[in-house]
Amino acid sequence: MAKKKKIVENPMENEAEALKQPITETLEKNYMPYAMSVIISRAIPEIDGFKPSHRKLLYTMYKMGLLNGQRTKSTNIVGQTMRLNPHGDASIYETMVRLTRGNESLLHPFIDSKGTFGKQYSRDMAYAASRYTEAKLDPICHELFDSIDKNPVDFIPNYDNTMEEPSLLPTTFPNILVSPNLGIAVGMACSICSFNLAEICDGTIALLKNPKVTVDRMLDIVKAPDFPGGANIIYDREQMRKIYETGLGSFKIRAKYEYNKKNNCIDVLEIPYTSSIESIMKKAKDMIKSGKLREVTSVRDAIDLNGFKLTFDLKKDSDPELVMQKLFSVTELENSFDCNFNILVEGTPMQLGIREILTEWIRFRIRCVTRELNFDLDKKLQKLELLQGLMKILVDIDEAIRIIRNTKLESDVVPNLAKAFDLTQNQAEYIADIKLRNINREYIINRGKEVEGLVAEIKDIKETLRDELKLKALIISSLQEIKKKYGKPRKTQLIEREEVKAPAKDIFFENYNCRLIMTKGGYFKKLSVQASRSADEQKLKEGDYVLYQEDTDNRGDVLFFTDKAQIYRAKVDDFELCKASSMGDYIPSKLGMDDDEHVVACKMIYDIIPNHHMVYIFENGKGVRINMSAYDSKSRRRKITGAYSTASPLAGAIYEGDKPVSIFIRSDADRGMLIKSSLIPDKSTRTAAGVQIMKLPKKGVKIDLVTDRIEDIGQDALKCKKLALPSTGSPLGQLTFNF
């Protein structure tokens, strides 16, 4: 008999088949299950206010007896949690850290911790390893596990079916809005800020009493978010109304500070929840180095046993209000919180406003209370059944004793009692197990009273289950008790937007006298008065020379004219002071000019003034005057294209103010002329080619120098003066020039 050949699968063929799979099928089978897993099982909190990782950790601690017991090592908690959470110990411990009192991430921490757990407001203050820290559940967790043994929520198998865990925790208050929650899923994210517990309880009670409560009324009760780190919210009611209605929006949080007059320093005591002390300090130090925060000598972390403190040491006579305005405008001492209230409701992600979230929580809580009452009802009905059976035999207890004594087999005791007194199996079992010592008058009287109490309790539970108002009354009573027991004053205070002073536009501006120098090679210097008066020689590249020089101050703008018919505009304050011995800033690189673009001329102005002109002289000997109003615009443009004609390369640009200026023009044919700018015609169009100013003798000759710095040229320039245009200029020959 021939042996069958063993068929060996070719992995390459399988891979090729997989590659033929349509993209839609790949998304459906591979991507969508992953996306839904991330949304439902990781990143988005459910109506109880917890993500699965939080819930698994807290329930593990509850089952370990840490709600009422002593603290245990964190590593023990992490190990036990792995029975429900199949992730690594590091991720479980990170989850635990955020829930602790020591980390200060929550208004109402769920874990009472001992040891170093880092701080929410610091990236660098690391938490200690789990073997060094201890923890137990905080007393507020009684409200998370209240009546959890009465079947208020569904229990589901853990990942390996060895035990069960709750699908939700039966929180007795809207924890979804009391604990902040951030998460990034696939295609969606959530960013839920925390609110004051007492205010949320009041808002929920108002909604329980009147389901049609308005958003305005809710804003009056739940004023605004409240953060564990305190600080101040810059309050805008309309902005907050949008967040309450849609669950989307943002608001600004500003640090709290005080000025310590004795030590001449500013102490920042509370910072925004979304800020870190390290980023604030880094930015402040950068500002000090760059000279934008000259009033501050140093910034230091002054955190101690009394809590958070960030100190800015001031120079003498510094204005603390001005310093804080600068810090608020640049650092994270003022920051925003972006709200995105995405939550899971029965497994479906929803973006809800405050009122809708509280409505969903009320529905959830009513279901929990209903299940608890049904659990109690079943237990009481079972107990009533047993006691009613007991009442039947108490009519003739002697007969019951006789039946038991005369029954030969133990297995027949229960059937004989049930038959003689018309009892159920459960009733007969209960009676058969009663101890002989309990058959006395006191026992009988007490059981009779218990029956009466059970009947009344059962009636009350049934009436409550039938009446939604009574169910809501139970929830209201519970919320009032929680508010009384755990409610705290607001930590985050509100500042009306009108009370916040907008920083001045020139808040970082410091005016002083300076000298501006521009070289032909494209280097620009801003020298202080002392540097400009020093005897140091200006450092220039070989062959380079000064094209423009002016004594001015730090208030104006500098216009840079390039050979690409473009004007770049920069503030004088944008340039750092330098020394005469330095090269300065290379303008094409600093201003991000185009490749092979070079500066031809520059001029400092305070503003664009009509009837002031720019005089352009081109290499072909033509020139034109353009009114400065041609460059005016509503927006302060940093770059103007098409600033002048491109018919010929630009040889030079001269600024003409209220009075005509003297301009010296030289050609590379060694001829020159000195003219008044008023001789050049004024044109209304920026790209006008102009008129001939200097007659060039032949092709290839061009204008190679244009300047209004006559003092640098020398007295011989006056010999080249011309009163009419165009002109061939004067031969320079033996004339002496300093330039």
pLDDT in tens, 203-230: 999 999 999 999 999 999 999 999 999 9
Backbone φ and ψ of 566, nearest 5°: -125, 150
- Give the pLDDT of residue 419: 84
Task: Tell me if 41 sits within 8 A of 156, measured CB to CB.
Answer: no
261 in the same domain as 139? no
577 in the same domain as 471? no
- Give the pLDDT of residue 28: 65
Confidence bin at 196 (pLDDT 50/70/90): very high
User: How far apart are alpha carbons 25 and 356 in whole angstroms?
Assistant: 36
* Mean of all residue pLDDT scores within the chain: 87
How far, in Å, are 62, 79, 86, 156, 157 from residue 160 at the CA level?
Answer: 20, 16, 9, 11, 8
% residues pLDDT > 70 (the chain):
92
- Give the pLDDT of residue 535: 58
Tell whether 203 is covered by a domain: no
Task: Tell me if 38 sits within 8 A of 72, measured CB to CB.
Answer: no
623 in the same domain as 585? no
Task: Tell me if 367 sits within 8 A of 151, measured CB to CB.
Answer: no
717 in the same domain as 624? yes
Q: Token pair for residue 581?
A: 């011995």
Residues 6+ apart with CB under 8 A from 59: 84, 145, 165, 166, 169
- Give the pLDDT of residue 31: 63
The pLDDT tens digits of the residues spanning 235-251 come to 999 999 999 999 999 99
Task: Tell me if 671 sits within 8 A of 730, measured CB to CB.
Answer: yes
Helix %, strand %, coil % of the chain (to 5): 40, 25, 40
* Residue 166, burial from CB neighbour count under 10 angstroms (0-12, 13-18, 19+): buried
618 in the same domain as 598? no
Residue 202 has pLDDT above 80, yes or no: yes
The pLDDT tens digits of the residues spanning 363-417 come to 999 999 999 999 999 999 998 988 888 888 877 888 888 888 888 888 888 898 8
Residue 25 has pLDDT above 90, yes or no: no
Sheet containing strand 567-571, strands side by side: 599-605, 557-562, 567-571, 639-640
Residues annotated as part of the active site: 132
Confidence bin at 2 (pLDDT 50/70/90): very low
- Choose the final residue of a domain: 171, 194, 213: 171
CB atoms within 10 A of CB 55: 22
466 in the same domain as 562? no
- For 143, how many CA atoms within 13 A lie in the half-sphere containing its CB? 25
- Choose the final residue of a domain: 171, 186, 210: 171
Give the type of residue at 394. L
Report long-range pairs for 541-546 (Cβ below 8 Å, ≥24 apart).
Answer: 541/583, 544/519, 544/520, 545/519, 545/520, 545/739, 546/517, 546/518, 546/519, 546/520
The pLDDT tens digits of the residues spanning 635-688 come to 667 888 888 888 888 888 888 988 898 888 888 888 888 899 989 988 878 888
Tell whether 354 is covered by a domain: no
Tell whether 181 is covered by a domain: no
The pLDDT tens digits of the residues spanning 508-565 come to 777 788 889 999 889 999 988 777 777 567 888 888 888 888 888 888 889 998 988 8
Confidence bin at 6 (pLDDT 50/70/90): very low
Q: Token pair for residue 517?
A: 């120098």
514 in the same domain as 472? no
538 in the same domain as 651? no
737 in the same domain as 617? yes
581 in the same domain as 670? no
Q: Which residues pair with 672 in a beta bridge?
A: 666, 730
Write down how long the chain is: 739
Task: Tell me if 135 sits within 8 A of 111, measured CB to CB.
Answer: yes
Task: Tell me if 334 sits within 8 A of 272, measured CB to CB.
Answer: yes
Residue written as token pair 């596990």: 145
Residue 77 has pLDDT above 60, yes or no: yes
Q: How many helices (H) and strands (E) does the chain have?
A: 21, 34
The pLDDT tens digits of the residues spanning 682-720 come to 887 888 888 999 998 888 888 888 888 777 666 677 788
Residues 6+ apart with CB under 8 A from 182: 189, 190, 191, 192
Cis peptide bond N-terminal to 610, omega within 30:
no
- For 595, how many CA atoms within 13 A lie in the half-sphere containing its CB? 0
Q: Which residues pair with 705 in a beta bridge?
A: 666
CB atoms within 10 A of CB 320: 18
Helix (H, G, I), strand (E, B) or coil at 331: coil
Tell whether 176 is covered by a domain: no
Chain mean position to CA 11: 48
The pLDDT tens digits of the residues spanning 494-513 come to 999 888 877 766 677 777 88
% residues pLDDT > 90 (the chain):
46
In the chain, how many domains are there?
6
pTM beyond cutoff 0.85:
no
402 in the same domain as 316? no
DSSP secondary structure string, 493-543? EEEEGGGSPPPPTTTT----EEEEEEETTSEEEEEEHHHHHSSPPPP--TT
619 in the same domain as 697? yes
Handedness of CA 487, 270, 48, 53 (dihedral sign): negative
Could you tell me where the DSSP H helices lie in 644-709? none
Backbone φ and ψ of 209, nearest 5°: -80, -35
Task: Tell me if 135 sits within 8 A of 8, measured CB to CB.
Answer: no
For residue 311, what is the domain's CATH number?
3.30.1360.40
Range of the structural domain that residue 449 is part of = 366-486
**Among 602, 601, 624, which residue's Cα sits nearest to residue 613?**
624
Could you tell me where the DSSP H helices lie in 139-251? 175-178, 197-209, 215-221, 237-246
Could you tell me where the DSSP H helices lie in 29-174? 32-38, 52-63, 74-81, 89-98
Radius of gyration of the chain (CA): 42
Tell whether 639 is covered by a domain: no
Tell whether 226 is covered by a domain: no
CB atoms within 10 A of CB 559: 22
Tell whether 575 is covered by a domain: yes
Tell whether 99 is covered by a domain: yes
Task: Tell me if 624 sits within 8 A of 683, measured CB to CB.
Answer: yes
